[in-house]
Structure 1
Amino acid sequence: MAEKLGDLLLTPAEMAAVDAAASDSGIASFGLMWSAGAAVAGAALRLYPGALRFAVLCGPGNNGGDGYVAARRLAESGAEVAVFHLGDLAKLRGDAARAKAECALVSQPVDVYIPTPGDVVIDAIFGAGLGRDVPSQVRSVIEQVTGAMVPVIAVDLPSGLDGRSGEVLGTAFRAAHTVTFMTRKPGHLLMPGRELCGSVEVADIGIPARIVKARSSGRIAENTPIQWAHLLPSAKLGTHKYKRGHLVVFSGETGKTGAARMSAAAGLKAGAGLVTIATPRDAMAENSAHLTAVMLCAVDDATALRDWLADERLQTFVLGPGFGTGVKTRDFAAELSGRHLVLDADGITSFRDDPRELFDLFAEGEPHLVLTPHEGEFARLFPDIAADKTLSKVDRAQVAAKRANAAIVYKGADTVIASPDGRALINTNAPVWLATAGSGDILAGIIGAYLAQGLPAFEAAAAGVYLHGEAGQRAGQGLTAEDLVAHVLPF
């Protein structure tokens, strides 16, 4: 299953369509429920063989049906099992009603459950389909389980978590382990969902991959090399520095040059054949004192930049790290509108008063702009999108990418990379210690290196984010930006 479906992510609505299509194709829906419940029971026995009791909390829908099957299988294995239900059992319908009828265990209302030492909770209340805040009796149970520090195995998704956005709907279980089916949902990867899911296991319950793929938009996936590695330039004996691209990074004024140097060094380490720092003349000596392999060129203003750009070999630029905000930054971006540009930090903030000015500069042709905003910078460029609470982080990145005709790197613990054509990747390999001063400057340089080597904007951004995370893992806890540069390696 993993080889066939890869890193595909399905929204809850898409997964519901998959379930319906599987049933329409003649696959018995109760058989799928049986397989799902059996997978949950298997995980519970494997992970907690010493549990004194499995407390199975069942909701009023098919997620609860999975729980009744799991309870039955656990009891048949000889485990001690207690079942608790939400709602009126007489109102169960379809496969859930059948699963309850075939589970001989007595069920009690969920609000009488009291966690005890030795319990393992199996959360089969809501799963991924919840679209409202959890009801009060479920909130109370979640609070008790959390306070008692009883381990939780979630069925599909911890109850209280939105499977589309990863947001908490009032409150949610914190699972030690989650068993989901066929594919993961965006909520398994987006924060805070990723933390609340614990380890995630994807169980193949027997739906053919062709049905899963046919009901998926195919637009959302995890950011892994399978998404972009085929576009990376291959290392050949005939390769030379000019074939590996020339990256230019703009430096700030004297006393504000370090960010550009880190960005440039990262670009060189990530595989760009040549890297030049374009610097104000008054910062030339300061930059020169710290550089060897990176070249320098004096560029004081937009007129000097325009003259330099007469050299058509200069195609890829990083603007923003330590550069300063204001008219000069906007003028430089305008001069670069026909080239490949990573706009970061000060470059983004310079357009906060009129983002449309930036978008108009890069509106034509294939996307050749990469924007790398963190949460605050995103709100400066896209205030209306950032304020729309109905949108998930993926939704926001997708809408922003289309508006800007740019690849968006919406940074954070769950960085989302989005393309104007609607594709989006969620990155998961970045360690928490990457949140340090200068880390974003290095990311901009890595993305610039892959743009310089010929990758399209979206794939260059995705590769850069992934390799930035890999460098962080190699550098280890306590890293500084200087440590991180040393661990940047091309893929």
Structure 2
Amino acid sequence: MQPQVYHSQSIQAWEQRWFSQQNSSYGLMKQVAWTIAQRLIPIFHEQGIQRIAVCCGQGNNAGDGYLTAKYLTQAGFSVDIYAAELGASKDLHLASAEAQQAGLTIYSDFTFVSEYDAYIDALFGIGLNRELNTDWQSIIQKINGRQGLRIAVDIPSGLQANSGQPLPCAVKADYTFTALGLKAGLFTGQGKEFCGKVQVIDVIPADEKLQPIARISPNKISLPQRQAFGHKGSYGHVLIAGGHATMGGAVIMAAEAAFHAGAGKVTCACDAKHHTAILSRAPNIMLRDINALSAADIQALLEHVDAVSFGMGLGRDAWAEQQFKTWFPLIQQSDVEAVLDADALWFLAEFPEKLKAHSYATPHSGEAAKLLGISTQEVEADRVQAIHFLQEKYAGQWVLKGAGSLILEDELWICTAGNAGMGTGGMGDVLAGMISSLKAQFHDMIHLHEIVTLHALAGDYLAQRGMRGLQAQDMAQAVYHAVNL
């Protein structure tokens, strides 16, 4: 079973149920801290780390820090604590007293008196939901500005646990040891920028009331072997539709991606101005002039394909609107697997309608905002809620693209593959082509989150030589690599 991801409030309620069964909250704090210390000891030995600064705030997360410092001191490391004034928590006061009894030096501010090999962040836990004041922002910037390994206890301080948004800054950790269960903010939004390598400190048993909000999509995907007697008709026919007279590149990249993901046949319906360019790159792509197609022609095309990707490079002018009003109802009435991307989503927002079954919509945050009638900032403030709202409003299956893409099918998945180099024009077109190709080949035998992950793995393969300057037009061979692993 793939790792489960939880909302911070569910984790906190789970803790309270554990305590209500007469389990000790301080005992749990000690258990978490001891486990973190045991995980850190081999890392510190391997990297030659001796001097460690532990930065503690005012809540129970700080208690984890005090106790981790104690256990690391007992293991032979040189540890100093930098701490804010203690809050009201009884457990926090007990942890601070144990650290002092172990002989640790506790500094009352965050002016580091020495250079350290590692900095442990125990300032704030998963309950943080407000923007940090300037004093706390300054402390976080000090930690980020130091040389040395950075380790976050539970979640990097300043990062919202569910959205992955900094408030407005957060500790940039190399390792995050998150208590009890994974939180969505570690993987989506800006979370990947701050969390480094994530490990779970799973020290109490889950109960039946604890329900995940998502699962982590697997990074190893195996497609069925092809049969020896297969032919081009065995592997699906994909139709790529879009390509305004001034925007031909999107349909080219989508069509090439469809072929490289294994489709047996690909037809591209676009403005005839682009046909020569398409044939010069990929002479195996069949072409239709979108301007010459009547509604009857489009319906006939849809009857002879297995999947369609619609909207790439369609544009938003009067011509594009007319194309949408012609194509979209016919796609909705057909039995084909249907991918809606780019400008098709823009028009869907203008003319909202419930999507048919086997529809796959792939907005980025700006497109999601348009579809929901809210701001991009509101989408990013709660990506999990946004994708659920999209499915509730429009039906279908959804990909909310971006770092830590969210995929909502029957349940929510988070893609942890991919890299910052993929933030470039055309990557969404490649994804749309891959979805239509793999759905044309396998239909319900492949899940949407698996296709999104294959796309991300292709991007990671392409980025092996560097992320800066990575181009979507170069993804074709990387897609071929990913689907043949």
Q: Same fold, TM exceeding 0.5?
A: yes
- Aligned partner of residue 178 in structure 1, secondary structure: strand
Query: Partner of 2:171: helix, strand, or coil?
Result: coil
Larger CA deviation: 305-314 vs 469-478: 305-314
Verify: 1:9 aligned to 2:17, yes or no.
no
**Mapped pair 1:324 → 2:318:** no
Structure 1 range deviating more: 45-54 or 374-383: 45-54
Which position in structure 2 is the counterpart of 1:448?
A: 436
1:156 Cα deviation after fit: 0.7
Cα 1:252/1:28, change in 2 over 3 Å: same
RMSD: 3.0
| 1:427 positional shift | 1.9
Structure 1 residues 436, 61: closer, same or farther in 2, change over 3 A?
closer
2:218 to 215, 224, 227: 224
Q: In the alignment, what sits opposite 1:32?
A: 28
Alignment correspondent of 2:185: 187
Contact 2:53 2:82 in 1 (8 A): yes
Are residue 269 (structure 1) and residue 232 (structure 2) matched? no
Contact 2:190/2:403 (CA < 8 Å) preserved in 1? no
Name the aligned partner's letter for residue 388 of structure 2: Q
Query: Cα distance 1:414–1:280, how it changes in 2: closer, same or farther (>3 A)?
Result: same
Looking at structure 2, the residues matched to 102 and 311 of structure 1 have their Cα atoms a distance apart, in angstroms, of 71
1:260 aligns with 2:251: yes
Deviations 1:397-447 (A, max 9, x none): 22112211132222223322224x5x3222221122223332221111001
- Supply the distance in 2 between the matched residues of 1:417 and 1:115 (Cα, whole angstroms): 47
| In 2, Cα distance between equivalents of 1:310 and 1:418 | 29
- Structure 2: stretches of 5+ with no match in the other structure: none
Q: Judge conservation of contact 2:251–2:270 (CA < 8 Å) in 1.
A: no
Give the secondary structure class of the aligned counterpart of 2:121.
strand
Give 1:202 shift: 2.2
Pairwise CA distance, 1:129: 1.8
Give the aligned partner of residue 15 of structure 2. Answer: 19
1:464 aligns with 2:462: no
CA displacement, residues 270-324 of structure 1 (integer Å, 9 cap, x when unaligned): 1223222234556555544544333334543663455543763434211122233
Q: Kindly indicate whether residue 363 of structure 2 is the aligned counterpart of residue 359 of structure 1.
A: no
Contact kept, 8 Å, 1:67 with 1:122, in 2: the verdict is yes
Q: Using a 3 Å threshold, how does the CA distance of structure 1 residues 310 and 139 change in structure 2: closer, same or farther?
A: closer
Separation in 2 of the partners of 1:444 and 1:307? Answer: 20
Q: 1:486 and 2:477 equivalent?
A: yes
**How far off its partner does 1:163 sit?**
0.7
2:197 alignment counterpart: 199
Number of aligned residue pairs: 468
Which residue does 1:244 correspond to in 2? 235
Distance 1:346 1:115, change over 3 A: farther
Give yes or no for the alignment of 1:157 onto 2:155. Answer: yes
CA contact (8 A) 2:128 2:158 kept: yes
- Structure 1 residues 11-61: Cα deviation after superposition (integer angstroms, max 9, x where no partner): 211111222333345654444322211222234433334445322222333
Mean Cα displacement is larger for which, 342-351 or 103-112?
Answer: 103-112
Q: Which residue of 2 aligns with 1:384?
A: 374
The code of the aligned residue for 2:458 comes to: A
1:56 aligned to which of 54, 57, 64: 54
TM-score, length-scaled by structure 1: 0.84
- Residues 1:335 and 2:330 aligned together: yes
User: For residues 340-371 of structure 1, what are the alpha-carbon distances to aligned partners after superposition, in whole Å with 9 as ceiling and x for unaligned?
Assistant: 3211122223345x2xx2424x2x5x3x2222
Given the alignment of the two structures, is residue 397 of structure 1 paired with residue 387 of structure 2, yes or no? Answer: yes
| 1:360-408 alpha-carbon deviations (Å, 9 max, x no partner) | 4x2x5x3x22222223322322232645379412221221122111322
Task: Identify if the C-alpha distance between structure 1 residues 404 and 292 changes in structure 2 by more than 3 Å, giving closer, same or farther.
Answer: same
Return the letter of the residue paired with 1:161. L
- With over 3 angstroms needed to count, the CA separation of the structure-2 counterparts of 1:482 and 1:47, relative to structure 1, is same
User: Is the 1:128–1:156 contact (alpha carbons within 8 Å) kept by the matching residues of 2?
Assistant: yes
Q: Which among 391, 397, 406 is matched to residue 396 of structure 2? A: 406
How many angstroms apart in 2 are the aligned matches of 1:304 and 1:402? 30
Q: 1:322 to 1:412 in 2, by over 3 A?
A: same
Q: Is the 8 A contact 1:450 1:463 kept in 2?
A: no
Please say if residues 447 and 460 of structure 1, whose CA atoms lie closer than 8 Å, have aligned partners that are also in contact: no
Structure 1 residue 485, shift from structure 2 partner: 0.8
**Is 1:303 equivalent to 2:294 in the alignment?**
yes
Alignment correspondent of 1:435: 423
Q: Distance in 2 between matches of 1:238 and 1:441?
A: 31
Contact 1:447 1:463 in 2 (8 A): no
Q: Deviation string for 1:251-287 (max 9, x for gaps)?
A: 5255643422321121122122322223455655554
TM-score by length of 2: 0.85
- Report if the CA contact (8 A) 2:365-2:379 is conserved: no
CA contact (8 A) 1:267 1:448 kept: yes
State how far apart, in whole Å, the 2-side matches of 1:167 and 1:154 are.
16
Tell me which of 324, 347, 350 is aligned to 1:350: 347
Structure 1 residue runs of 5 or longer lacking an equivalent are none
Percent of aligned positions that are identical: 29
Q: Secondary structure at the match of 1:309?
A: helix
Q: Which residue does the alignment assign to 1:45?
A: 41
C-alpha spacing 1:313/1:153, structure 2 compared with 1 (3 Å):
same
User: Offset at 1:225?
Assistant: 5.2
Amino acid at match of 1:80: S
**1:473 and 2:473 matched:** no
The SS at the match of 1:42 is helix
